[in-house]
Chains A and B, each alone.
Chain A
Amino acid sequence: MTTTLELRLGEVEARFRTMADSAPVLLWMADTDALCTFFNQTWLDFTGRTLEQEWGVGWAEGVHFEDFQRCVDTYMAAFAERRPFEMEYRLRRADGAFRWVLDRGAPRYAPDGRFAGYIGSCVDITDRKDLELDLVRAVRVRDEFLSIASHELRTPLTALRLQLDGLARSIERQPQRDLANGRLAASTGDALSQVERLTTLIERLLDISRFSEGRVTLMPEDVDLVGLVRGVVSAMREPARVAGSTLTLTAPAALAGRWDRMRIEQVVTNLVTNAVKFGGRKPIELDVAAEAGGARVSVRDHGIGIDEQDQRRIFARFERGVSARHFGGLGLGLWVAKQIVDAHAGTISVASKPGVGSIFTMTLPLSSHEDGAGGAP
């Protein structure tokens, strides 16, 4: 009888051992004293060592010396509290190469509930780690390129702008204002507005590299948000008229707070520019209002609108709701806007229906947290 049971137990154990040995992960087990007593064949094949060599704390010889102490600390701390743990470290492979592994361990218990030690598994995550590094490197190279490109592009623009400004001044100074002069002045004005446009595009390029490096430092000052929005509205009135839209502003007399004036102006300008661009020649309404502890600015248009799927991604980099062929621009405006509002500890969101229009809403706390002026006014 006993022999039959022992035989059957032996069979079961053999079956589990086969399973463990053919599992595509590195498996280990430790006893209650934290010493390892089992490694599956996958582990032994990986390290190219024998069970005797890995036994106890032998396995730790394969851990990269830079990761060793951290590993031991993590393992022993988890062990003492009998909680699951997770750690990444470099483990020497049979060919001598160190590979990054993700090791997950959990306490195991005997059928009667007694603590029996630990069991764990490791997977090789080197390829994933390499990919992550490549990605980080690629982003850095891209941002560096943008930064250099925008700097380089600014140089000829500076010369161009000065020459055109000089030309405009000379035309102005001509004693007789005849037809030819008028045409020359108009052309110079047109050329200058193209320079402005290029400058804005380059500014945005620089903005993404700046924001993605987290280099944006706010310069908060006392700002009347109503005055600021009023300024944007009056600057945008003419472009809106040309696009066939009117701008109306509903606002209290003033709404004071501490923000980075230029940056917030940039956000509002961006929202109004978008509304003009996608507003379908219909009226655009701006609303400024005080909220509990903050301020809210909303820009509503009655244009083409944005479908639900696009609403989620328009605040991402290089994203746009519509195809590039129809509307110019880099698709950076809203991403930059979001970075600015985030830096102010505010929020920016959109509600929209295709064919009905969009409403973009920005909320700002009355003083930005970078100011260190928390608490009551």
Chain B
Amino acid sequence: MSAATACAGVLVVEDDADITEALVQVLESEGMAVRAAGNGQIALDLLRAPGSPLPCVILLDLMMPVMDGWTFRSTQLRDPTIAHIPVVILTAGGPAAVTDRVRADAMLRKPVDLETLLATLARYVT
């Protein structure tokens, strides 16, 4: 319960700088605290860094260099300190290729419309 109340904003895990910038801009203008990580490994490092508050939700791209979204998700689920954080997938891949192999709380396809994105994130960000 304390974990849920102590969460802050969104963690965007995305390797494309333009998409990251656009996401940060639109989400911040909606009043959300946004942090960004360029791949799964950077995201894990951020989440495991002591002292920083955990995000309320992770917006996760799947195809990324260094550590992709699938690996990130399975690593996250094995780490009890961060396993509870909900994950929303944002991917350019087809639905079949994705749903088969990754467990997620929600799935959005690129390009996503802001309305849908905000409504989805609002379920987790308080």
Contacts and interface: CB of A to CB of B under 8 A. Distances in A.
A159 B112 contact: no
B25 A165 contact: no
A155 B22 contact: no
B92 A154 contact: yes
A165 B113 contact: yes
Given A162-B22, A165-B114, A169-B114, A151 B93 contact: yes
A166 B96 contact: no
For chain A, give the interface size range. 20 to 34
Interface string B85-126: 000000011101100000000000011111101000000000
Chain B binding surface, main DSSP class: helix
B21 interface: yes
A197 to B, nearest CB: 12
Given A151-B93, A163-B22, A210-B94, A158 B111 contact: yes
B46 interface: no
A161 B113 CA distance: 7
Chain A binding surface, main DSSP class: helix
Contacts of A165: 26, 113-115
Contacts of A166: 22, 25-26, 29, 114
For chain B, give the interface size range. 20 to 34
Contacts, number: 66
B36 to A, nearest CB: 13
Contacts of A141: none
A232 to B, nearest CB: 19
A153 to B, nearest CB: 9
A158 B116 CA distance: 13
A158 B14 CA distance: 12
B18 interface: yes
Given A155-B19, A155-B92, A206-B94, A160 B111 contact: yes
A163 B25 contact: yes
Nearest to B23: A162
B68 to A, nearest CB: 14
Contacts of A210: 94
Interface in A147-201: 151, 154-163, 165-166, 169-170, 195, 199
A64 to B, nearest CB: 38
Interface in A205-224: 206, 210, 215-217
Contacts of A162: 19, 22-23, 25-26, 111-112, 114, 117
B79 interface: no
Nearest to B21: A159
Interface in A33-65: none
Contacts of B92: 151, 154-155, 158
A158 B63 CA distance: 15
Interface of B: 16, 18-19, 21-23, 25-26, 29, 63, 92-94, 96-97, 110-115, 117
Question: Which 6 A-B pairs have CB atoms at the shortest separation, nearest pair first?
Answer: A165-B114, A162-B22, A166-B26, A159-B18, A154-B92, A161-B111
